[in-house]
Amino acid sequence: MQKIISVIGLLAVPIILSGCSDVGVKPWERDILAQQEMNLISDPIENSLNDHIYFSKEASSGGQGFGGGGCGCN
Amino acid sequence: MADKDLEVVAVAVTKNTHKNRDLAQLLTAASCALIGGISPSVNAADSWDVDSAFLLYSESDGRVSAAEPVISATKNYDEETKLTFKIAADTLTGASPNGATPSDHVQTFTSPSGKGSYDAAAGEQPLDDTFKDTRIALSTNWSAPIDRDWAYGVGGYLSKEHDYQSLGVNGSLSRYLNQKNTTLTLGLNLSSDTVNPEGGVPTGLVQVPLNNSDSEFTQRTDSDNKSLVDAVFGITQIINRKTIMQFNYSLSTSSGYLTDPYKIISVIDDNAGTNFGGNFQSGSRDLYLYEKRPDSRLKQSIYWQTKYQFDNDDILDVSYRYMFDDWGINSHTIDAKYRIHFDNQYLEPQLRWYTQSKADFYHRYLNSSDYTNADFASADYRLGDLDTYTLGLKYGYKFADETEFYTRFSVYHQESSGDKGYGKLTSQELYPGLDAAMLIVGYKF
């Protein structure tokens, strides 16, 4: 039984490793991700205006960055 | 070494953010890199990027309206080294719910300063129309690499309105792993705020006096403080050429004066009789108490975001946030944007859904039989059960010189719910919804 588990374990190693090596890109494959539209926050000003409104109208804030604040609106 | 230079060149060639790029310089840089990395300063970008926008926000039924111009300027020293300055101003006018319940008779409320009063007609939601404010906020941020594997950022901000000041500093440290496919970031923010309410700091859960000659007013202090510490730990992972993902865990603690000095709460008569469910009388007038919140709050949230570019260049941006705190609130937020490209223009429909559960001490009203036992109480609907929806559409136009104009129109809807009351109170609308419209116009150059 233990043997079967270790065989399965050994078989799983290359699968896990190859799975990991599929994640990510080579330095020369960054063309798309380098576009400004692909930044996680591509429009910081629009984001900050939204955060300000939601901060003053709802009980939650932050998550993506720091939790708004600097405002007596909530 | 060669990998690193190629990477910088690849980024320099494809990055769209920098203007006035000198092609010759770029080609020189590229050839240098190909020859074997003679010059590390391969970046031609040493420019200012300006991002400016104007927001108009307007709520239905003459409630709050706001106008907010923002301008930020970023000096790019190279791809990773930048300095940003930002200034924002906003003006708010209109009326805001004061927390009291509507009633079957005209209600009169003392204004926050104690120098006047305002009325709410029978059956109408009590709104404080003395609400007016102007805020100026300044912030600055510097970010730069430490070496190949590490980067840092530092920043500060200052904001001021007539009854509130905030001063903050923040810093972040990032570690790149796995050929920069994985980035670990730790951020810390400290803020020290001062609240100096119109009329001074009221005493929580004490009856709102008739005017400022009352002893409750004369014993008030002018201001109180609150401090905030936020920490964010994030992992950003490049999944493949078209997909990037982020996962954050944040912790935020605030302590000090967290109460809203302008919010009050109605006490409702729960004695059997003709006034069952009506406003409870104290000193031959309706009883309203100043709200009171705990003096500390610990919030935690997890945040996940994924951005994916389709083969036709459309971009899907989806995020989810789960937030919970020790006030008993927890919330879910889903935000989705889909950008459709048409040559140098784009359209971006946006959808956001938010739901929160109420704070333990949120009550739409207090009962006359037990209001004296309350340690904390707030009728601020923003701490109650709440669902909100935002529906928006953004349009952008990119000019040949890489400047960009955009505009976004969105509608925001709020729905509150909760305990419906008893007796006379059941005929009142205790949880009115809210609709607002927002317009943003922006220009990046």
Question: Residue A56's closest chain B neighbor by CA?
Answer: B382
Q: Pick from B125, B135, B122: which is nearest to B166 by CA?
A: B135
Give B248's strand partners. Answer: B234, B303
Residues of B in contact with A32 (CB under 8 A): 241-242, 309
Residue A71 has pLDDT above 80, yes or no: no
To the nearest whole Å, the CA of B27 is away from the closest chain A CA by 17
Structure tokens at B22: 């000198």
pLDDT at B62: 80
Residue B54 has pLDDT above 50, yes or no: yes
pLDDT at A18: 47
Structure tokens at B309: 């570019």
pLDDT at A66: 80
CB contact under 8 A, B193 and A70: yes
| Residue B129 near chain A (CB below 8 Å) | no
The pLDDT-based confidence of A68 (bands split at 50, 70, 90) is: low
Q: Quick one: average pLDDT of B380-389?
A: 98
CB contact under 8 A, A23 and B239: yes
How many percent of chain B have pLDDT more than 90? 87
Residues of B in contact with A27 (CB under 8 A): 3-4, 6-7, 10, 179-180
Residue B130 has pLDDT above 90, yes or no: no
Residue B10 has pLDDT above 50, yes or no: no
CA distance B123 to B427: 9
| Residue B168 near chain A (CB below 8 Å) | yes
To the nearest whole Å, the CA of A27 is away from the closest chain B CA by 5
Residue B6 has pLDDT above 70, yes or no: no
CB contact under 8 A, A72 and B133: yes
> Of B25-29, B214-218, B266-270, B276-280, which gets the smallest average pLDDT?
B25-29
CB contact under 8 A, B7 and A27: yes
Question: Residue A57's closest chain B neighbor by CA?
Answer: B382
Residues of B in contact with A54 (CB under 8 A): 354
A12-43 burial, b for 16+ CB within 10 Å, e for fewer? eeeeeeeeeeeebbebeebebbbbbbbeeebb
| Residue A2 near chain B (CB below 8 Å) | no
pLDDT at A4: 59
Q: Quick one: average pLDDT of A52-68?
A: 88
To the nearest whole Å, the CA of A47 is away from the closest chain B CA by 11
CB contact under 8 A, A72 and B164: yes
Question: Residue A74's closest chain B neighbor by CA?
Answer: B260
Residue B48 has pLDDT above 60, yes or no: yes
Residue B301 has pLDDT above 50, yes or no: yes
CB contact under 8 A, B230 and A67: yes
The pLDDT-based confidence of B129 (bands split at 50, 70, 90) is: confident
pLDDT at B36: 36
| Residue A7 near chain B (CB below 8 Å) | no
The overall average pLDDT reported for chain B is 90
| Residue B300 near chain A (CB below 8 Å) | no
* ipTM confidence: 0.88
* Residues B154-200 pLDDT 10s: 999 999 999 999 999 999 999 999 999 999 999 999 999 999 999 99
Alpha carbon of B149 to those of B40, B81, B152: distances in Å? 16, 14, 11
Task: Closest CB to B53: pick one of A49, A53, A57.
Answer: A49
pLDDT at B79: 86
The pLDDT-based confidence of B41 (bands split at 50, 70, 90) is: very low
Helices (H), B189-338: 215-218
pLDDT at B39: 38
Q: Quick one: average pLDDT of B329-351?
A: 97
| Residue A5 near chain B (CB below 8 Å) | no
Q: Reduce the secondary structure of chain B to three states and give it as a string.
A: CHHHHHHHHHHHHHCCCCCCCCHHHHHHHHHHHHHCCCCCCCCCCCEEEEEEEEEEEEEHHHECEEEEEEEEEEEECCCCCEEEEEEEEEEEECEEECCCCCCCCCEEEECCCCCCEEEECCCCCCEECCCEEEEEEEEEEEEEECCCCEEEEEEEEEEEECCEEEEEEEEEEEEEECCCCEEEEEEEEEEEEEECCCCCCCCCCCECCCCCCCHHHHCCCCCEEEEEEEEEEEEEEEEECCEEEEEEEEEEEEEECCCCCCCEEEEECCCCCCCCCCECEECCEECEEECECCCEEEEEEEEEEEEEECCCCCEEEEEEEEEEECCCCEEEEEEEEEEEEECCEEEEEEEEEEEECCCCCECCCEECCCHHHCCCEECCHHHCEEEEEEEEEEEEEECCCCCEEEEEEEEEEEEEECCCCCHHHHHCCCCCCEEEEEEEEEEEC
CA distance B214 to B60: 36
The pLDDT-based confidence of B3 (bands split at 50, 70, 90) is: very low
CB contact under 8 A, A45 and B72: yes
Residue B419 has pLDDT above 50, yes or no: yes
CB contact under 8 A, A24 and B16: no
Q: Quick one: average pLDDT of B211-230?
A: 95
Residue B32 has pLDDT above 80, yes or no: no
In the CATH hierarchy, which top-level class contains the domain B46-444? Answer: mainly beta
CA distance B374 to B372: 6
CA distance B267 to B51: 49
pLDDT at B31: 41
Which of B86, B230, B405 is the best mutation test for A, with the most CBs of A within 10 A? Answer: B230
CB contact under 8 A, B90 and A52: yes
pLDDT at A43: 93
Helix B23-35 with B2-14: angle, nearest 10 deg: 160
To the nearest whole Å, the CA of A13 is away from the closest chain B CA by 19
To the nearest whole Å, the CA of A34 is away from the closest chain B CA by 5
Q: Pick from B14, B8, B19: which is nearest to B47 by CA?
A: B19
CB-based contacts of A7: which residues, under 8 Å, 6+ apart?
Answer: none
Question: Residue A27's closest chain B neighbor by CA?
Answer: B7
Q: Does an H or E element contain B30, and which?
A: helix B23-35
Residue B43 has pLDDT above 80, yes or no: no
CA distance B300 to B325: 6
| Residue B205 near chain A (CB below 8 Å) | no
* Residues A2-59 pLDDT 10s: 655 565 555 555 444 444 557 899 999 999 999 999 999 999 999 999 999 999 999 9
Residues of chain B with CATH 2.40.160.40: 46-444
